[in-house]
Structures are given as C-alpha cells and as structure tokens.
C-alpha cells in the first residue's frame, strides 16, 4: 500500500503500511500473521514492532520470525483485547501498519561459547522463537541449547510442529510441561520452574533467556540463581502498557527502565529487586 509521503519527514509515530500475506491459527486464541516486510526491514531476536489496525489502535508485538530470513515478517499474537482481537479478524490482503523494530534484543552473542538456555511460559515463546532459530542457524557457536517450555494447558502449546521438530533434534534439549494436564497429555505436569533443577545445562557457563508472565519470570530467576546461574547471565523480557515505543508516552516504565527503550529484554540482576516489590 502506497503511503502518502508528502508529509513532514520521519515522524517516528508514522507506521509503514503493509499487507497480510498469510495467517494461521496456533491455538484457540493465538494466531500468526505473516506480513510483507517494509522495504529494508531488519530485526534482531527479541525486538518488537508496533502493529496498527486502522481505526482501532496500535499494540506492541514481538517479531517471531527467523532473523536469517528476510522475506516475511512473522508475528504470533494472542487475542486478548480490542486491538489483538481485531488483528485476529484480519484476512490475507488486508492492510496493517507496522512501526519498528524497537527495543533491546536478546544477547545472543553474549552466549556464544557457552550454553544457551531458553525458558518460555505461554505466549512468551513467541519473542524467544527468533533467538532459538538464530542459535540453531549458528549452532556451532554454542555449547548446549536447551528449551524449557510451560503452558497452562496442553491446548495452549504454541508452534507444536516446530517444537516437536526441535525435540527430535540431537543438538537441542527440549523439556515441555503444562500446569494442568488433560487425558491426552503424557508429558510432565507442573510449573516450568520445576524443570530447572533437572535441565541439562552448566549453570556456570549458561546464558538464560526468559519470557513469560511476570510472576513466572520472578520464580524462574530465583530458581536459576539457586541452581548457580550468575544473575548477570539471566535475561528477561518485560511487558508493560505501551503506547508509543519511543519512551515518550511514559506508560512502559519499570523502575528506571522504559521497557520500549531499555528493554524489553532486561538483565535479571537489574530487576530482581524490583520483582520483589509489589506493583512496580
């Protein structure tokens, strides 16, 4: 979609207009959009875009695609509120506004030479997917590659095919758990933190990337430290109300950080104390 460009230069609030090339459902409430990337678009794992639905509003959504493939811009979204539910109704060919990428990425390079451990809760796997794909594409640069993934129910598991493909790989350890199992579930049951003590990684040489609900990240951080991981090697991705992604609307503050600018990926030892305080 052509955008009228006879306007003031580079208004950072101005989205590029692009179209939906493909879409599919992941779970009951979660779906993936595949967009034509705006010209020259590049991102790093962990960064996010602001997606705009005409007349409804804008939301922060992580990029979930493969950073090594630039042909498509992939977002996995859970329909929870007004904008995300409208996103779910969009069909192939519809226009959508994109601004980004924003934010600090996962420190995938810092992990080089050691173990890379990924801990995901629920939709938290979406922002971690690019990091995993990056690591797999550069597999020889890491020692062990581990994914610990938990959801509430078996039906909430994202990227089923991909996750089972990963499970089948010899160069990656994948442990999956659900909070509440049903009859069909034959895997482990319990919160994701319970996987940490038995997961195959060397705490002293690991970089851990964590994304999920705040409470899950808090307990995961504690558990990792208990297992001996250096707090400075643990990274979490925060969610806050976000309306501009430019650190000027003020909503995404988390202590001294703007999640959009200083995050969303933050180092655990910068936030562990804040995690212990209510309503920060």
Partner 1 sequence: MAGRPRLAVLKFTSCDGCQLSLLDCEDELLAIAGALEIANFAEASREVAPGPYDLALVEGSITTAHDAERIRQVRRESSVLVTIGACATAGGIQALRNWADVEEFTRYVYATPEHISTLDRSTPVHDHVTVDFELRGCPISKRQLLEVVNAFLNRRRPVIPTFAVCVECKRAGVPCVMVAEGTPCLGPVTQAGCGALCPSYRRGCFGCFGPMESSNAASLSNRWQELGAGSRELVDAFRSYNAYAEPFREAADAH
Partner 2 sequence: DVTYVIDRAAIDRMIGRLRDEGFTVIGPTVRSEAVVLDEIESTDDLPVGVGDEQEAGHYRLVARDADTVFGAVVGPGSIKRFLHPPEAPVLRFVRSGAGFSLVAPAEAPRYAFVGVRPCDVAAVGVQDRVFLGGAARDATYAGRRDGAVFVVANCVRPGGTCFCASMGTGPRASGGFDVALTEVGDGEEHWFLAEPGSELGDDLLRDVGASEAPDAAEERVDELMTAAAGAMGRVLDTDGLADALRESLDSARWEQIATRCLTCANCTLVCPTCFCASVDDQTSLSGEEAVRVRRWDSCFNEEHSYIHGGPLRPSPSARYRQWLTHKLSSWVAQFGSMGCVGCGRCITWCPVGIDITEEAAALREEVAHV
Ligand X SMILES: Cc1cc2nc3c(=O)[nH]c(=O)nc-3n(C[C@H](O)[C@H](O)[C@H](O)COP(=O)(O)OP(=O)(O)OC[C@H]3O[C@@H](n4cnc5c(N)ncnc54)[C@H](O)[C@@H]3O)c2cc1C
Chain residues binding ligand X by CB under 6 A are: 48, 59-62, 76-78, 80-84, 123, 126-127, 239-242, 259, 264
The alpha carbon of residue 24 and the mean position of all alpha carbons in its chain are separated, in whole angstroms, by 18
Choose the one of partner 1, partner 2, ligand X, none that binds residue 232, judging by a C-beta under 5 to 8 angstroms depending on kind. Answer: none
Rule CB under 8 A: choose which of 68, 71, 81, 200 binds partner 2: 81
User: What distance separates the 2 farthest-apart alpha carbons in the chain?
Assistant: 60
Burial of residue 39, with CB atoms counted within 10 A of its CB: 0-12 exposed, 13-18 middle, 19 or more buried: exposed
> Footprint of partner 1 on residues 26-55 (CB under 8 A)?
55
Distance CA 69, CA 213 (A): 29
Residue 63 DSSP class: -
Closest C-alpha among 70, 85, 103, 135 to residue 265: 103
Q: Residue 54 or residue 109: which is nearer to partner 1 going by CB?
A: 54
> Footprint of partner 2 on residues 3-32 (CB under 8 A)?
3-4, 6-8, 10-14, 17, 19
Q: Is 101 helix (H, G, I), strand (E, B) or coil?
A: strand
In the complex, what is the shortest distance from the CB of residue 123 to partner 2, in angstroms, rounded to a whole number?
10
Rule CB under 8 A: choose which of 112, 153, 181, 249 binds partner 2: 249
Q: Are 165 and 178 within 8 A, CB to CB?
A: no
Q: Residue 61 or residue 216: which is nearer to ligand X going by CB?
A: 61
Choose one: 31-39, 145-153, 176-184, 249-257; the region binding partner 2 (CB under 8 A).
249-257
56 binds partner 1 (CB under 8 A): yes
């Amino acid at each position: 979609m052509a955008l009228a460009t006879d306007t003031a230069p580079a208004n950072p609030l101005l989205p590029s207009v692009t179209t939906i090339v493909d879409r599919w459902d992941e779970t009951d409430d979660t779906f993936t959009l595949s967009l034509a990337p705006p010209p020259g678009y590049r991102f790093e794992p962990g960064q996010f875009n602001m997606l705009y639905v005409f007349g409804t509003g804008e939301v922060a959504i992580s990029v979930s695609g493969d950073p090594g493939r630039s042909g498509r811009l992939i977002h996995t979204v859970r329909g929870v509120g007004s904008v995300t539910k409208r996103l779910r109704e969009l069909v192939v060919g519809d226009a959508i506004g994109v601004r980004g990428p924003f934010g600090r990425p996962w420190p995938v390079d810092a992990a080089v030479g050691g173990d890379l451990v990924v801990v995901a809760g629920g939709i938290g796997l979406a922002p971690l997917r690019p990091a995993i794909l990056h690591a797999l594409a550069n597999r020889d640069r890491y020692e062990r590659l581990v994914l610990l993934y938990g959801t509430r129910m078996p039906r909430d598991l994202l990227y089923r095919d991909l996750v089972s493909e990963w499970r089948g790989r010899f160069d990656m350890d994948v442990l999956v758990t659900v909070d509440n199992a049903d009859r069909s579930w034959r895997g482990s049951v319990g919160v994701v933190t319970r996987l940490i003590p038995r997961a195959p990684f060397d705490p002293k040489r690991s970089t851990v990337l964590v994304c999920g609900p705040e409470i899950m990240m808090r307990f995961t951080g504690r558990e990792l430290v208990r297992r001996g991981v250096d707090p400075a090697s643990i990274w979490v991705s925060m969610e806050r109300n976000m309306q501009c992604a430019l650190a000027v609307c003020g909503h995404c503050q988390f202590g001294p950080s703007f999640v959009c600018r200083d995050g969303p990926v933050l180092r655990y030892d910068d936030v562990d104390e804040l995690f212990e305080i209510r309503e920060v």
